[in-house]
Amino acid sequence: MGGGGGGGGKGGLYREEKPAVSQHLDLCQSTTMYLHLLILLQLLSSAGASESGIVGGKEAKPHSRPYMVSLQHRGYHVCGGMLIRKDFVLTSAHCLRDAFPLTVVLGAHNLTKEEKKSRQEIQVSLYLRHPLHQNITQYSYDIMLLKLQTNAVLNEYVKVIGLPNEVKHIPARTTCSVAGWGKTEPDKTSRAANVLMEVEVTMQFNFECLNKLREYFISSQMICTDDGRKGFCQGDSGGPVICKNKNVAQGIIAFFGNSLKCDDRKLPRVYMNISFFTSWIEQSEVPQPQTNYIHRLKLLGQIFTLRVLLLGQIFTLMVLLLGQTVTLRVLLVGQILTLRVLLVGQTVTLRVLLLGQTVTLRVLLLGQTITLRDLLLGQTFTLRVLLVGQTFTLRDLLVGQTFTLRVLLVGQTVTLRVLLVGQTFTLRVLLMGQTFTLRVLLVGQIFTLRDLLVGQTFTLRVLLVGQTFTLRVLLVGQTVTLRVLLLGQIVILRVLLVGQIFTLRVLLVQLDMKDPDHSLKELAHICMMADCILIQAWREEKPAVSQHLDLCQSTTMYLHLLILLQLLSSAGEFI
């Protein structure tokens, strides 16, 4: 995997394709420098990780794309970008390397000419990578804002491009276009283009890219195209994807599947979906404190601030280290989540305003340490605490997701009490003969969970409007089966367990008893758009349902999730 986001490969790769390198590698065999050199070479060869050009395209009409930006280092083109405000440029996060300052070039067409009439060159004053983008070889959250030292002068050669104003899925088979000054041929000796090139590309279904790229493709924040030998190549990363509305950028060029060949017919090209990041972009455009990076950490009693996109809201983490206070504030669906931690033998208190109620968690650390790793929005939230020499692991997927707790306390007991909607919730877990108790009542109903982990069965039974909801889960790579009886509604759930991305999406579709055919077509359409996994009906009893649900078969993804349309005795009332 490579292109615009890092790639795989072993040391032998360079001996086969780079014999000259092999001679130098032999000098490093006895030292750790060998490994370091291999890593460096891999980063350089995975072209898109540092600079991902247009292959199979044509020269663009001069200045027909006045929002295009050439990011340069010491006069050499590195990446593309787009002007979204007179003082901000949007590009890929992997285009930036430490000690690698970039210059923004606007109003350019032929990079080998001066173009004094149209060109503007402006230095960057602030690099704002998305805080969840870890390094240049990471694929997710590959987006960055560049704050310009001086405002661009807008004219016929330099204009801004608009951004989506809502999270939007670009339909498959939509024709879009990309442009850049990158390579025009995929071979190693090919040079970057002197003039701006452009090419049309076709959007693919998310499931098609998932099947080919698997864990490298995150459908919630990425889109993809697969046009064989047509598309972007090294040097085009950060450039925009333009679809039907020529005044709005829908994506950012990110990476291609093969780190060595940008025209690999077997693997698609991937872009960041800008609409997923709109709220983060708007928030980051607010003037920031004078610091090189938004995620800079100042130790010894200083403040660490992290801003994360969470359902269009802001997640801010402020940490005062060494016996100080940790405060976590999250705007969660309009509510506030606050975590206050007093380290080194102090008390951990978690207070959450959720549905107007308060959740409090108190833990005694007994002089041990606490480490919090948080990747929100479909990622895994891991809290590791050394508690009397033991390990406490909490994986929490917020916002309607599933809360999974694993505890190894060897004779210890963990008790968590939570008030949610003023009711009581009871959770009992048998772990190595120990007991974990959580008490809560949900809307006057009783929620009981018994969990035997690692290959055992997880059964959840809930009384919902007099109906029964049963969830059976076989953990550690097993399957999930959901059976629902909710007054003629349909629930669609997507899950990847054990360290994978866990996404819960529920679509409640009221089937119209007067026009069941239209309702089922609507359901099938929603299934296609939401990339639901697999829906089957009782074909022998409902052949009409089966006919419409066949439209969803092609969207099978990570695991087989079976949703059975349960038939009430009065089935005709809703189907």
Active site residues: 94, 142, 237
- Helix or strand (DSSP H, E) at 84: strand 76-85
Query: Taking a C-beta distance cutoff of 8 angstroms, is the pair 233, 182 a contact?
Result: yes
Distance of CA 106 to the CA centre of its chain: 30
Residues 6 or more apart whose Cβ sits within 8 Å of residue 344: 322, 323, 365, 367
How far is the CA of 242 from the CAs of 140, 229, 234, 350, in angstroms? 21, 19, 19, 44
User: How many CB atoms are closer than 10 A to CB 341?
Assistant: 20
How far is the CA of 507 from the CAs of 122, 448, 466, 485, 491, in angstroms? 47, 24, 20, 14, 5
The Cα–Cα gap between 500 and 377 comes to 13
- Is residue 469 classed as helix, strand or coil in its secondary structure? strand
- Is residue 333 classed as helix, strand or coil in its secondary structure? coil
DSSP string for 381-409: EEEEEEETTEEEEEEE--SS--EEEEEE-
Taken in order 21, 22, 25, 27, the sign of the CA dihedral is: negative
- The type of residue at 268 is P
Q: Which pair of structure tokens corresponds to residue 195?
A: 């003039």
- HEC string of 493-509 equals CCCCCCCCCCCCCCCCC
